[in-house]
Amino acid sequence: MNASAPHAHLMQPQLTPRPLPAEMLEALKARFGAQRCSTALAVREQHGRDESVFDVPPPEVVVYAESSEEVAFVVALAQRHRVPVIPYGAGSSLEGHLLAVQGGVSLDLSRMNKILRVNAEDLTVTVQAGVTRNQLNAEIRHQGLFFPIDPGADASLGGMAATRASGTNAVRYGTMRENVLALAVVTPQGELIQTGTRARKSSAGYDLSRLYIGSEGTLGVICELTLKLYPLPEAISAAVCFFPSIDAAVQATIQIIQIGVPIARCELLDANAVRAVNAHDRLGLREAPMLLMEFHGSEAGVAEQAGTVQEVAREFGGEDFDWATTPEARTKLWTARHHAYLSGLQMRPGCRAVTTDTCVPISRLAESINESVREVQEAGLPYFIVGHVGDGNFHLAYLIDPNVPAERETAERLSAQMVQRALRLEGTCTGEHGVGLHKQGFLLDEAGEGAVEVMRSLKRALDPHNIMNPGKIFTL
């Protein structure tokens, strides 16, 4: 909304490590023992990377917490020594969130993996932050319940809240923003607070839950989450449909959303992405732009939605409507969709992907995608597209050779052009991946200096010594 001259975009983060005092390391070792407090290089390197293209700056020590009290202990100690703390969940973030650009402690929450309380009668669950979405769904399925947010990776729920994740089901069920009722958070001072209650709504003071959701570990450590659950739909049906062009697939999507079909998932794969999942999962799909859709509801409701969508798709040249009504057939399709990113990488052995994540108002989606495709084809980089198009959100992945700096520069240039276009189209530089290291310039372009300065004021107020995941989202 504040389109001004684009800001410089970070190619590689600047490293400004703060030393870890020996006294602090000793205190950590005394409390956690060698098993849960590691300075081994392999462990540190594993915790200093994510799925981004950045090189690894490892933390100085990795601590495995098993309770909120242990998290509070580590953070209070780090606060006393002014040492950075980087919360670590499943390591699946994409924008450099986990990189220890100022050194410090990687606080691994993956062992905080208990489902604390299912309240089926209220459709709520309380979990520790290290529980993954697949673990949660496996445990509640027999109660006829599910948690819809699905970013693809089997991410931890704490990490999903920290990046305000969404994914394939967001078009119907919303994002983490809409599906968290309450949090237990350790503040940068090492105090455990509760935000929210199990009530579905509240007007009781500032919305602290929503402040921590999307704060990328910069304001505190999310230790527990109370989430909304949903009854498993009586009927679920998935379908694929192939289109003569990406534009046709996108135009069909726009119309499906505009007429208000309560579609549960509406995913685009371009021909490159279909080719990749075919190669990876032997699916034998037609290698053309494809929509992968899912419908939830009563038997009659699902049939009605599917009928409407077929009619719309046909108007735009959609063909070969293929239905998956058994759970097995559906799982096969969605597994292929979830493998799209890895499958895509395998199209160019040894490559790394520069992944984009713009989201625009639905009416601007065709323009946004078409122009981006034109530009990448002109530049001649291999690429593929997958998109949560029902939300106006899509990912274009440029496959670059990490040993050829010119390819990385081209990808960064194309990505920047794509973001600037998304902002002109009244969209956002990141629909679901977050800002991390990579999008700090884009955030300034999008929100404007004034709004980012408000964010910085909040950070300074809650974390005056900048110990929580420093260097992410913005520079102070």
Q: Are strands 61-64 and 105-108 parallel, antiparallel or unpaired?
A: parallel
294 to 353, contacts with a second copy by CB under 8 A? 298, 300-301, 304
Q: Are strands 85-88 and 105-108 parallel, antiparallel or unpaired?
A: parallel
80 to 109, contacts with a second copy by CB under 8 A? none
Taking the complex as a whole, how short is the minimal distance between the CB of residue 173 and a second copy, in angstroms?
11
Q: Are the CB atoms for 65 and 109 separated by under 8 Å?
A: yes
Taking the complex as a whole, how short is the minimal distance between the CB of residue 465 and a second copy, in angstroms?
14
Taking the complex as a whole, how short is the minimal distance between the CB of residue 261 and a second copy, in angstroms?
10
Q: Are the CB atoms for 179 and 150 separated by under 8 Å?
A: no
Taking the complex as a whole, how short is the minimal distance between the CB of residue 455 and a second copy, in angstroms?
5
* Calpha distance 415→263 (Å, rounded): 30
Buried b (16+ CB within 10 A) or exposed e, 143-181: eebbbbbbbbbebbbbbbbbbbbbbbbbbbbebbbebbb
248 to 277, contacts with a second copy by CB under 8 A? 254, 257-260
Q: Are the CB atoms for 207 and 178 separated by under 8 Å?
A: no
SS3 192: strand
Q: Which of 23, 55, 69, 207 binds a second copy (CB under 8 A)?
A: 207
Taking the complex as a whole, how short is the minimal distance between the CB of residue 23 and a second copy, in angstroms?
27
**Which amino acid appears at position 204 of this protein?**
A
359 to 378, contacts with a second copy by CB under 8 A? 359-364
Q: Does 214 bind a second copy (CB under 8 A)?
A: yes
148 to 177, contacts with a second copy by CB under 8 A? 163-166, 170, 174-175, 177
Helix H or strand E encompassing 296: strand 290-297
Query: What number of chain residues touch a second copy (CB under 8 A)?
Result: 92
Taking the complex as a whole, how short is the minimal distance between the CB of residue 304 and a second copy, in angstroms?
6
219 to 248, contacts with a second copy by CB under 8 A? 230-231, 233
409 to 438, contacts with a second copy by CB under 8 A? 423, 426-435
Nearer to a second copy, 13 or 103 (CB): 13
172 to 191, contacts with a second copy by CB under 8 A? 174-175, 177-178, 182, 187, 191
The DSSP line for 311-336 is HHHHHTT-EEEEEE-SHHHHHHHHHH
Nearer to a second copy, 65 or 452 (CB): 452
